[in-house]
Amino acid sequence: MANGPNVGLFPQLPLITPARRVPASFNWAAGGSCSITTRKLQPSHLSFCRVCPLNLLQHIAQSRNLLRKSELKVADHVLLDPAAVMHSSMADLAHSVGISEPTIVRFCRAIGCSGFQDLKLKLAQSLAAGASFGQFAIHEDDSVADYSLKIFDTTLHTLMEVRENLDPHALQLAVTAMAGANRVEFYGFGASGAVAADAQHKFFRLLLTAAAYSDPHMQAMSAVTLKPTDVAVCISQSGRSKDLLITANLVRESGATLITLCPSQTPLAELSSVNLVIDVHEDTEIYTPLTSRIAHLVVIDVLAMGVAMARGPGLVNHLKSVKRSLRGLRLSPKSIKTHED
């Protein structure tokens, strides 16, 4: 954290940028991205495929549309938490998934493993090698099914990775600061600007004075009017946007608390009072969506829930009144006429 004036609600607070933990259930962010080229295999051929351990998780994801319905349940369970499967017995896994043990054996053979123990061994080798499973490249010849699966899988695994690596202590500090603030301002550009707007929509309902700005001039004017009792939240997928760094420096000069949602070891993270680390390895392919945007939205939801809980039961009646006011703006199902009317 750079030297500067005391920062709002946490005058001596050190930068919160914890070392990346080895998550209990995931270790798929070890650099790079994985390009999957779809090759149609007949189900009868799958049992003869022998998969390199490093590519087992990718192979399972790619083979989902070739598995039976019961085997697909096992595949989804393995992809969701391979480390847990690695430490489970066959009976435990069958109970968790809700299928029979012979189905697990068939699944193992369908993906090229000789049995359940061989599956566990290859999973262990994949995780130890740091298989990069979180990113899939989109190719021009992908079918709708191909790129739909890739986008959903990429997003789901990004969310799980971010969940495993978010520091609860940093989250608590951020929630405490926001719950006690007079004003909460959200700043971001581009896709991060959309996240900032979503955050403003959530937080103003919590009886907080909240605003979002995606214009550099508006951000500057907002930042210089902040007080030590206020909070600014800077959202960035890179942590290196020049205009956002200018805004962050103005926030620090105002004495307000600066919370950042950005990658660790970036210029923006170094300026923060509380850094909620979101290290997402984005694919650089032109067609690949920004999964970090979804991660930012979910972290904003977590913060909003924390602030709502921190502000106590009195907020519940307010939220109920907001919901009642919105109900009158919607058509009831009975008022919608069908073509048969």
Is the distance from CB of 11 to CB of 71 less than 8 angstroms? Answer: no
**What 8-state DSSP symbol labels residue 285?**
S
Assess if residue 333 is contained within a domain.
no
Residue 250: exposed, middle, or buried by beta-carbon count in 10 A (0-12, 13-18, 19+)? buried
pLDDT of residue 27: 36
Contacts 24+ apart (CB under 8 A), 143-146: 143/38, 145/65, 146/38
Please give the Cα distance from 275 to 115 (Å, whole number). 44
The enclosing domain of 58 has a CATH number of 1.10.10.10
pTM of the model: 0.61
**What 8-state DSSP symbol labels residue 172?**
H
Closest CA to 188 of 233, 127, 131: 233
pLDDT of residue 288: 54
Indicate whether 258 and 185 sit together in one domain. yes
Indicate whether 172 and 153 sit together in one domain. no
- Pairing relation of β-strands 231-235 and 183-187? parallel
Indicate whether 174 and 297 sit together in one domain. yes
The enclosing domain of 321 has a CATH number of 3.40.50.10490
Q: How far is CA 51 from CA 65, 81, 93, 109, 134, in A?
A: 17, 19, 22, 11, 19
Assess if residue 82 is contained within a domain.
yes
Indicate whether 173 and 67 sit together in one domain. no
Indicate whether 97 and 130 sit together in one domain. yes
Helix (H) or strand (E) holding 257: strand 257-262
Assess if residue 313 is contained within a domain.
yes
Q: How far is CA 64 from CA 70, 100, 136, 144, 244, in A?
A: 11, 19, 15, 15, 42
Q: Show which of 108, 140, 163 is a domain's final residue.
A: 163
Number of domains in the chain: 2
Assess if residue 221 is contained within a domain.
yes
Residue numbers of the domain that contains 249:
167-325
* Helix residue ranges per DSSP H, the chain: 43-46, 56-62, 69-80, 82-86, 90-97, 101-110, 116-128, 144-165, 168-179, 191-203, 216-224, 242-254, 267-271, 291-310, 314-327
Q: Show which of 163, 198, 226 is a domain's final residue.
A: 163
Indicate whether 205 and 311 sit together in one domain. yes
Q: Residue 81 corresponds to which tokens in the numbers above?
A: 């938490």
Indicate whether 156 and 190 sit together in one domain. no
pLDDT of residue 19: 35
Indicate whether 140 and 180 sit together in one domain. no
* Secondary structure of residue 157 in the 3-state scheme: helix
Indicate whether 199 and 297 sit together in one domain. yes
Assess if residue 13 is contained within a domain.
no
Assess if residue 200 is contained within a domain.
yes
Closest CA to 319 of 305, 340, 303, 330: 305
Q: Looking up tokens 């984005």, which residue turns up?
A: 282
Is the distance from CB of 6 to CB of 257 less than 8 angstroms? Answer: no
Assess if residue 321 is contained within a domain.
yes
| First-to-last C-alpha distance (Å) of the chain | 66
Q: Three-class SS string for 109-127?
A: HHCCCCCHHHHHHHHHHHH
Closest CA to 3 of 259, 228, 249, 174: 249
Indicate whether 94 and 239 sit together in one domain. no
Please give the Cα distance from 288 to 45 (Å, whole number). 30
Q: Show which of 163, 190, 221 is a domain's final residue.
A: 163
Indicate whether 141 and 201 sit together in one domain. no
Q: Residue 25 corresponds to which tokens in the numbers above?
A: 């259930």
Q: How far is CA 276 from CA 104, 128, 270, 273, in A?
A: 39, 26, 12, 10
Assess if residue 24 is contained within a domain.
no
Indicate whether 107 and 188 sit together in one domain. no
The residue type at 116: F
pLDDT in tens, the chain (341 residues): 444 444 444 443 434 333 333 333 333 333 333 333 333 444 433 333 343 444 688 788 878 888 999 999 999 999 888 888 988 899 999 999 999 999 999 999 999 899 999 998 888 777 755 544 444 567 778 889 888 877 887 788 788 888 888 999 999 999 999 999 999 999 999 999 999 999 999 999 898 999 999 999 999 999 999 999 999 999 999 999 999 999 999 999 999 999 999 999 999 999 999 999 998 866 555 555 578 899 999 999 999 999 999 988 777 777 788 788 888 788 877 766 655 55
